Protein backbone atom coordinates (compact mmCIF):
# COMPACT_ATOMS: atom_id res chain seq x y z
CA UNK A 1 0.00 0.00 0.00
CA UNK A 2 1.49 3.18 -1.30
CA UNK A 3 2.51 5.82 1.24
CA UNK A 4 1.15 3.78 4.10
CA UNK A 5 3.51 3.34 6.99
CA UNK A 6 3.89 -0.27 8.04
CA UNK A 7 6.20 -2.43 10.10
CA UNK A 8 4.58 -5.84 9.81
CA UNK A 9 4.19 -5.33 6.06
CA UNK A 10 7.87 -4.53 5.53
CA UNK A 11 10.37 -7.11 4.35
CA UNK A 12 11.27 -9.55 7.11
CA UNK A 13 14.63 -8.05 7.97
CA UNK A 14 13.31 -4.50 8.23
CA UNK A 15 10.36 -5.75 10.24
CA UNK A 16 12.50 -7.58 12.76
CA UNK A 17 14.86 -4.69 13.27
CA UNK A 18 11.99 -2.22 13.77
CA UNK A 19 10.27 -4.50 16.27
CA UNK A 20 13.49 -4.91 18.18
CA UNK A 21 13.78 -1.15 18.25
CA UNK A 22 10.35 -0.88 19.87
CA UNK A 23 11.44 -3.44 22.43
CA UNK A 24 9.76 -6.43 24.05
CA UNK A 25 7.95 -4.53 26.81
CA UNK A 26 6.15 -2.17 24.51
CA UNK A 27 5.43 -4.89 21.98
CA UNK A 28 3.87 -7.11 24.62
CA UNK A 29 1.91 -4.23 26.05
CA UNK A 30 0.45 -3.59 22.63
CA UNK A 31 -0.35 -7.26 22.18
CA UNK A 32 -1.97 -7.43 25.58
CA UNK A 33 -4.12 -4.40 24.78
CA UNK A 34 -5.29 -6.01 21.58
CA UNK A 35 -6.00 -9.26 23.43
CA UNK A 36 -8.17 -7.35 25.92
CA UNK A 37 -10.13 -5.67 23.15
CA UNK A 38 -10.55 -8.89 21.19
CA UNK A 39 -11.78 -10.70 24.27
CA UNK A 40 -14.28 -7.93 24.82
CA UNK A 41 -15.48 -8.04 21.24
CA UNK A 42 -15.75 -11.83 21.13
CA UNK A 43 -17.65 -11.92 24.40
CA UNK A 44 -19.97 -9.08 23.38
CA UNK A 45 -20.91 -10.85 20.17
CA UNK A 46 -21.70 -14.01 22.15
CA UNK A 47 -23.75 -12.03 24.65
CA UNK A 48 -25.68 -10.44 21.82
CA UNK A 49 -26.41 -13.87 20.30
CA UNK A 50 -27.58 -15.00 23.71
CA UNK A 51 -29.90 -12.01 23.93
CA UNK A 52 -28.10 -10.71 26.98
CA UNK A 53 -27.05 -7.42 25.39
CA UNK A 54 -28.64 -5.43 22.58
CA UNK A 55 -27.45 -4.85 19.05
CA UNK A 56 -23.69 -4.47 19.07
CA UNK A 57 -21.20 -2.88 16.65
CA UNK A 58 -18.31 -5.30 16.56
CA UNK A 59 -14.82 -3.85 16.14
CA UNK A 60 -13.22 -7.10 15.03
CA UNK A 61 -10.11 -6.07 13.09
CA UNK A 62 -9.87 -2.58 14.61
CA UNK A 63 -7.99 -3.76 17.71
CA UNK A 64 -4.61 -2.58 16.42
CA UNK A 65 -5.66 1.01 15.79
CA UNK A 66 -7.61 1.25 19.01
CA UNK A 67 -4.91 -0.25 21.19
CA UNK A 68 -2.22 1.90 19.65
CA UNK A 69 -4.35 4.99 20.23
CA UNK A 70 -4.40 4.32 23.95
CA UNK A 71 -0.84 3.10 24.38
CA UNK A 72 0.73 5.85 22.26
CA UNK A 73 -0.91 8.46 24.44
CA UNK A 74 -0.43 9.24 28.12
CA UNK A 75 -3.01 8.68 30.83
CA UNK A 76 -3.61 12.42 31.05
CA UNK A 77 -4.55 12.60 27.38
CA UNK A 78 -8.22 12.71 26.41
CA UNK A 79 -9.95 10.16 24.18
CA UNK A 80 -13.22 10.81 22.32
CA UNK A 81 -14.75 7.51 21.22
CA UNK A 82 -17.67 6.68 18.95
CA UNK A 83 -19.96 3.64 19.03
CA UNK A 84 -17.09 1.53 17.69
CA UNK A 85 -14.57 2.31 20.39
CA UNK A 86 -16.68 1.55 23.43
CA UNK A 87 -14.04 -0.73 24.91
CA UNK A 88 -11.03 1.59 24.73
CA UNK A 89 -11.97 2.81 28.20
CA UNK A 90 -11.09 -0.69 29.47
CA UNK A 91 -7.51 -0.06 28.36
CA UNK A 92 -7.56 2.89 30.75
CA UNK A 93 -8.49 0.62 33.65
CA UNK A 94 -12.27 0.67 33.51
CA UNK A 95 -13.78 -2.77 34.24
CA UNK A 96 -15.17 -4.34 31.04
CA UNK A 97 -18.47 -4.81 32.86
CA UNK A 98 -19.13 -1.08 32.42
CA UNK A 99 -19.21 -0.92 28.61
CA UNK A 100 -21.00 -4.27 28.55
CA UNK A 101 -23.69 -2.74 30.74
CA UNK A 102 -24.00 0.09 28.26
CA UNK A 103 -24.73 -2.40 25.50
CA UNK A 104 -27.21 -4.02 27.84
CA UNK A 105 -29.02 -0.68 28.03
CA UNK A 106 -28.17 -0.25 31.69
CA UNK A 107 -27.15 3.16 33.12
CA UNK A 108 -24.31 1.44 34.95
CA UNK A 109 -22.74 1.54 31.50
CA UNK A 110 -21.87 5.23 31.84
CA UNK A 111 -18.19 5.18 32.67
CA UNK A 112 -16.43 7.73 34.84
CA UNK A 113 -15.47 10.31 32.25
CA UNK A 114 -13.11 12.41 34.35
CA UNK A 115 -11.36 9.47 35.98
CA UNK A 116 -10.44 7.72 32.76
CA UNK A 117 -10.30 10.85 30.66
CA UNK A 118 -12.41 9.12 28.08
CA UNK A 119 -15.42 11.12 26.92
CA UNK A 120 -18.85 9.51 26.73
CA UNK A 121 -19.43 7.52 23.56
CA UNK A 122 -20.85 9.66 20.75
CA UNK A 123 -23.26 7.95 18.42
CA UNK A 124 -23.82 10.57 15.67
CA UNK A 125 -20.73 10.31 13.49
CA UNK A 126 -18.12 13.10 13.66
CA UNK A 127 -19.94 14.96 16.44
CA UNK A 128 -17.29 13.85 18.93
CA UNK A 129 -14.55 15.60 16.97
CA UNK A 130 -15.40 19.18 18.02
CA UNK A 131 -15.38 17.93 21.61
CA UNK A 132 -11.85 16.64 21.14
CA UNK A 133 -10.82 19.99 19.74
CA UNK A 134 -12.28 21.77 22.77
CA UNK A 135 -10.47 19.52 25.23
CA UNK A 136 -7.21 20.03 23.37
CA UNK A 137 -7.70 23.75 22.99
CA UNK A 138 -8.41 23.88 26.72
CA UNK A 139 -5.00 22.34 27.37
CA UNK A 140 -3.40 25.10 25.37
CA UNK A 141 -5.40 27.79 27.18
CA UNK A 142 -4.53 26.34 30.58
CA UNK A 143 -0.88 25.70 29.70
CA UNK A 144 -1.46 22.04 30.43
CA UNK A 145 0.29 19.40 28.37
CA UNK A 146 -2.42 16.90 27.57
CA UNK A 147 -3.47 16.17 24.03
CA UNK A 148 -6.80 14.87 22.76
CA UNK A 149 -7.63 12.18 20.24
CA UNK A 150 -10.94 11.89 18.41
CA UNK A 151 -11.97 8.76 16.51
CA UNK A 152 -13.77 8.85 13.19
CA UNK A 153 -14.63 6.44 10.42
CA UNK A 154 -14.18 6.99 6.71
CA UNK A 155 -17.89 7.77 6.48
CA UNK A 156 -17.60 10.37 9.21
CA UNK A 157 -15.21 12.42 7.09
CA UNK A 158 -18.18 13.40 4.91
CA UNK A 159 -20.04 14.93 7.84
CA UNK A 160 -19.97 18.63 8.59
CA UNK A 161 -18.59 18.32 12.09
CA UNK A 162 -15.46 16.65 10.72
CA UNK A 163 -14.73 19.73 8.67
CA UNK A 164 -15.57 22.20 11.42
CA UNK A 165 -13.47 20.30 13.94
CA UNK A 166 -10.43 20.04 11.67
CA UNK A 167 -10.63 23.69 10.79
CA UNK A 168 -11.12 24.90 14.34
CA UNK A 169 -8.28 22.69 15.56
CA UNK A 170 -5.91 24.07 12.98
CA UNK A 171 -6.91 27.69 13.53
CA UNK A 172 -6.53 27.37 17.30
CA UNK A 173 -3.39 25.27 17.03
CA UNK A 174 -4.99 22.73 19.33
CA UNK A 175 -3.04 19.59 20.27
CA UNK A 176 -5.48 17.10 18.81
CA UNK A 177 -5.22 13.95 16.72
CA UNK A 178 -8.01 13.05 14.34
CA UNK A 179 -7.77 9.31 14.00
CA UNK A 180 -9.68 8.28 10.91
CA UNK A 181 -10.14 4.57 10.76
CA UNK A 182 -10.64 4.02 7.06
CA UNK A 183 -12.21 0.58 6.93
CA UNK A 184 -13.56 1.35 3.43
CA UNK A 185 -17.19 0.97 4.46
CA UNK A 186 -19.86 2.98 6.18
CA UNK A 187 -22.45 0.29 6.77
CA UNK A 188 -23.11 -0.58 3.10
CA UNK A 189 -21.66 2.57 1.56
CA UNK A 190 -18.19 2.10 0.07
CA UNK A 191 -15.52 4.77 0.28
CA UNK A 192 -15.89 5.76 -3.39
CA UNK A 193 -19.49 6.82 -2.67
CA UNK A 194 -18.30 8.81 0.30
CA UNK A 195 -15.67 11.00 -1.32
CA UNK A 196 -13.73 11.52 -4.54
CA UNK A 197 -10.53 11.72 -2.52
CA UNK A 198 -8.75 8.39 -2.53
CA UNK A 199 -6.55 9.08 0.42
CA UNK A 200 -8.40 10.55 3.35
CA UNK A 201 -5.15 11.86 4.79
CA UNK A 202 -5.03 14.30 1.89
CA UNK A 203 -7.98 16.11 3.42
CA UNK A 204 -5.56 17.40 6.04
CA UNK A 205 -4.02 19.75 3.48
CA UNK A 206 -7.27 21.70 3.29
CA UNK A 207 -6.83 22.65 6.92
CA UNK A 208 -3.12 23.25 6.93
CA UNK A 209 -2.24 20.28 9.06
CA UNK A 210 -0.17 17.16 8.41
CA UNK A 211 -1.91 14.01 7.24
CA UNK A 212 -0.32 10.63 7.88
CA UNK A 213 -1.27 7.18 6.62
CA UNK A 214 -0.66 4.00 8.49
CA UNK A 215 -1.42 0.31 8.14
CA UNK A 216 -4.53 -0.20 10.29
CA UNK A 217 -3.71 -3.87 10.88
CA UNK A 218 -0.26 -3.16 12.26
CA UNK A 219 -0.40 -2.24 15.92
CA UNK A 220 3.31 -1.42 15.94
CA UNK A 221 3.18 0.98 13.03
CA UNK A 222 -0.01 2.55 14.39
CA UNK A 223 1.75 3.10 17.68
CA UNK A 224 4.73 4.72 16.03
CA UNK A 225 2.67 7.05 13.88
CA UNK A 226 0.29 8.05 16.67
CA UNK A 227 3.21 8.62 19.00
CA UNK A 228 4.69 10.95 16.43
CA UNK A 229 1.42 12.84 16.09
CA UNK A 230 1.08 13.07 19.87
CA UNK A 231 4.61 14.39 20.25
CA UNK A 232 4.00 16.98 17.60
CA UNK A 233 0.79 18.05 19.33
CA UNK A 234 2.38 18.15 22.75
CA UNK A 235 5.28 20.23 21.57
CA UNK A 236 3.00 22.92 20.14
CA UNK A 237 2.81 21.62 16.58
CA UNK A 238 -0.99 21.55 16.50
CA UNK A 239 -3.31 18.93 15.06
CA UNK A 240 -2.62 15.93 12.84
CA UNK A 241 -4.93 13.78 10.79
CA UNK A 242 -3.97 10.13 10.90
CA UNK A 243 -5.62 7.82 8.41
CA UNK A 244 -5.45 4.19 9.41
CA UNK A 245 -5.89 2.32 6.14
CA UNK A 246 -7.64 -1.00 6.53
CA UNK A 247 -10.84 -2.83 5.85
CA UNK A 248 -13.88 -3.67 7.95
CA UNK A 249 -13.20 -7.35 8.53
CA UNK A 250 -16.53 -7.98 10.20
CA UNK A 251 -20.09 -6.84 9.60
CA UNK A 252 -21.09 -3.30 10.55
CA UNK A 253 -22.74 -4.73 13.60
CA UNK A 254 -24.66 -7.73 14.81
CA UNK A 255 -27.75 -6.66 12.83
CA UNK A 256 -25.87 -6.22 9.55
CA UNK A 257 -25.72 -8.57 6.55
CA UNK A 258 -22.65 -7.69 4.43
CA UNK A 259 -23.53 -10.28 1.75
CA UNK A 260 -26.19 -7.83 0.59
CA UNK A 261 -23.65 -5.26 -0.51
CA UNK A 262 -20.10 -6.57 -0.72
CA UNK A 263 -18.32 -9.49 -2.19
CA UNK A 264 -17.23 -12.37 0.02
CA UNK A 265 -14.15 -12.59 -2.22
CA UNK A 266 -12.91 -9.21 -1.00
CA UNK A 267 -13.60 -10.29 2.57
CA UNK A 268 -11.49 -13.40 2.05
CA UNK A 269 -8.71 -11.33 0.57
CA UNK A 270 -8.49 -9.13 3.63
CA UNK A 271 -9.10 -11.80 6.27
CA UNK A 272 -5.40 -12.69 6.77
CA UNK A 273 -4.73 -9.10 7.89
CA UNK A 274 -6.45 -9.90 11.20
CA UNK A 275 -4.22 -7.87 13.52
CA UNK A 276 -3.62 -10.21 16.44
CA UNK A 277 -2.47 -13.11 14.32
CA UNK A 278 -0.37 -10.78 12.27
CA UNK A 279 1.27 -9.23 15.34
CA UNK A 280 1.91 -12.68 16.77
CA UNK A 281 3.66 -13.75 13.59
CA UNK A 282 5.91 -10.71 13.78
CA UNK A 283 6.68 -11.07 17.47
CA UNK A 284 7.49 -14.75 17.19
CA UNK A 285 9.66 -14.36 14.12
CA UNK A 286 11.52 -11.47 15.77
CA UNK A 287 12.09 -13.70 18.77
CA UNK A 288 10.35 -11.22 21.05
CA UNK A 289 7.78 -13.69 22.33
CA UNK A 290 6.78 -17.28 21.95
CA UNK A 291 3.38 -18.52 20.93
CA UNK A 292 2.77 -20.02 24.35
CA UNK A 293 3.07 -16.81 26.27
CA UNK A 294 0.95 -14.94 23.73
CA UNK A 295 -1.73 -17.61 24.09
CA UNK A 296 -1.53 -17.15 27.84
CA UNK A 297 -2.09 -13.41 27.46
CA UNK A 298 -5.13 -14.06 25.36
CA UNK A 299 -6.41 -16.69 27.76
CA UNK A 300 -6.21 -14.29 30.69
CA UNK A 301 -8.13 -11.66 28.72
CA UNK A 302 -10.87 -14.13 27.83
CA UNK A 303 -11.22 -15.29 31.41
CA UNK A 304 -11.59 -11.70 32.55
CA UNK A 305 -14.39 -11.10 30.07
CA UNK A 306 -16.15 -14.30 31.03
CA UNK A 307 -16.17 -13.12 34.62
CA UNK A 308 -17.51 -9.72 33.55
CA UNK A 309 -20.27 -11.40 31.58
CA UNK A 310 -21.28 -13.40 34.61
CA UNK A 311 -21.64 -10.18 36.55
CA UNK A 312 -23.95 -8.64 33.95
CA UNK A 313 -27.18 -10.04 35.33
CA UNK A 314 -26.23 -9.15 38.86
CA UNK A 315 -26.35 -5.40 38.27
CA UNK A 316 -29.42 -4.12 40.08
CA UNK A 317 -32.13 -2.44 38.07
CA UNK A 318 -32.05 1.34 38.18
CA UNK A 319 -35.41 3.11 38.48
CA UNK A 320 -36.64 5.99 36.34
CA UNK A 321 -36.80 8.14 39.47
CA UNK A 322 -33.09 7.58 40.01
CA UNK A 323 -32.32 8.36 36.39
CA UNK A 324 -34.45 11.52 36.47
CA UNK A 325 -32.23 12.75 39.24
CA UNK A 326 -29.14 12.58 37.01
CA UNK A 327 -30.25 15.02 34.30
CA UNK A 328 -29.63 18.31 36.13
CA UNK A 329 -27.47 19.38 39.05
CA UNK A 330 -30.55 20.53 40.89
CA UNK A 331 -33.48 18.45 39.75
CA UNK A 332 -36.40 20.51 38.41
CA UNK A 333 -39.88 19.91 39.84
CA UNK A 334 -41.13 18.08 36.78
CA UNK A 335 -38.44 15.43 37.25
CA UNK A 336 -39.20 14.95 40.91
CA UNK A 337 -40.91 11.68 41.88
CA UNK A 338 -44.29 13.43 42.34
CA UNK A 339 -44.36 14.77 38.81
CA UNK A 340 -42.12 12.51 36.78
CA UNK A 341 -44.75 10.16 35.39
CA UNK A 342 -48.04 12.01 35.60
CA UNK A 343 -48.77 15.58 36.62
CA UNK A 344 -50.44 16.04 39.95
CA UNK A 345 -53.91 15.13 38.69
CA UNK A 346 -52.86 11.59 39.40
CA UNK A 347 -52.66 12.49 43.07
CA UNK A 348 -55.59 14.94 42.99
CA UNK A 349 -58.21 12.26 43.52
CA UNK A 350 -56.74 11.26 46.86
Ligand X SMILES: Cc1ncc(C[n+]2csc(CCOP(=O)(O)OP(=O)(O)O)c2C)c(N)n1
Contacts of 21 (CB under 8 A, 6+ apart): none
Output helix, strand, coil percentages for the chain, rounded to the nearest 5: 55, 10, 35
Element (H, E) at 153: strand 148-153
The three-state secondary structure class of 151 is strand
Nearer to ligand X, 97 or 149 (CB): 149
Q: Which residue number, 218 or 243, has a Cβ lying nearer to Mg ion?
A: 243
- 255 binds ligand X, rule: CB under 6 A: no
Interface positions, 153-212, toward ligand X (CB under 6 A): 153-156, 159, 181, 183, 185-187
Binding mask 242-281 for another protein (x = CB under 8 A): ----------------------------------------
* CA–CA separation, 173 and 192 (whole Å): 31
* Residue spans of beta strands (DSSP E) within 167-303: 176-182, 185-186, 189-190, 211-215, 240-245
Binding mask 258-277 toward Mg ion (x if CB under 5 A, else -) reads --------------------
Contact 214, 176 (CB under 8 A): no
160 scored as a contact of another protein (CB under 8 A) = yes
Give 110's contacts (C-beta < 8 A, 6+ positions apart): 98, 102, 120
Task: Tell me whether residue 192 is exposed, middle or buried, using C-beta atoms within 10 angstroms of its C-beta: 0 to 12, 13 to 18, 19 or more.
Answer: exposed
When asked if residue 206 is in the footprint of another protein (CB under 8 A), the reply is no
Q: Does 334 bind another protein (CB under 8 A)?
A: yes
263-294 per-residue burial string, b: 16 or more CB within 10 A, e: under 16: eeeebeebeebbbbebbbebbeebebbeeeeb
Question: With binding defined as CB under 8 A, does residue 44 bind another protein?
Answer: no
Check residue 212 and report its DSSP letter. Answer: E
Q: Select from 128, 134, 31, 145 the least CA-distant residue to 86.
A: 128
- CA separation, residue 327 to residues 317, 335, 349 (Å): 18, 9, 30
Please give the residue whose beta carbon sits closest to Mg ion in the complex: 153
x/- site string to Mg ion, residues 185 to 204, per CB under 5 A?
Answer: xx------------------
- Choose the one of ligand X, Mg ion, another protein, none that binds residue 343, judging by a C-beta under 5 to 8 angstroms depending on kind: another protein
- Closer to ligand X by Cβ: residue 66 or 280: 66
The DSSP call for residue 77 is S
**Footprint (CB under 8 A) of another protein, residues 78-107:** 78, 80, 107
> What x/- string results for residues 37 through 76 when contact with ligand X is judged by CB under 6 A?
----------------------------------------
Q: CB nearer to another protein: give 14 or 320.
A: 320
176-182 vs 148-153, strand pairing mode: parallel
Indicate which single residue of 2, 11, 13, 114 sits in contact with another protein (rule: CB under 8 A). 114
CB of 9 to another protein, least distance (A): 35
**Cα R_g (the chain), whole angstroms:** 21
- Asked if 240 touches Mg ion (CB under 5 A), the answer is no
183 near Mg ion (CB under 5 A): yes
Binding site for ligand X (CB under 6 A): 84, 123-125, 153-156, 159, 181, 183, 185-187, 248, 252
Binding site for another protein (CB under 8 A): 78, 80, 107, 110, 112-114, 119-120, 122-124, 127, 129-139, 141-142, 144, 148, 160-161, 163-165, 167-168, 171, 323, 325-330, 332-334, 343-345
Amino acid sequence: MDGVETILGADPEAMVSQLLELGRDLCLRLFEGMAGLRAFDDRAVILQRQGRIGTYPTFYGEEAVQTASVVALEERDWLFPTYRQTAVVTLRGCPPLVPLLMWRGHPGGWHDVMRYRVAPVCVPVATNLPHAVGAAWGARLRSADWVALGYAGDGATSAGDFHEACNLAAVTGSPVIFLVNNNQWAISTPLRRQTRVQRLAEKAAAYGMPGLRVDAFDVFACHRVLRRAAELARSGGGPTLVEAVGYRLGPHGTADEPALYRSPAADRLWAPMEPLGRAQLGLVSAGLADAGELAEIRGRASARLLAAAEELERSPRVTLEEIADTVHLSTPWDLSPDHLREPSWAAAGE
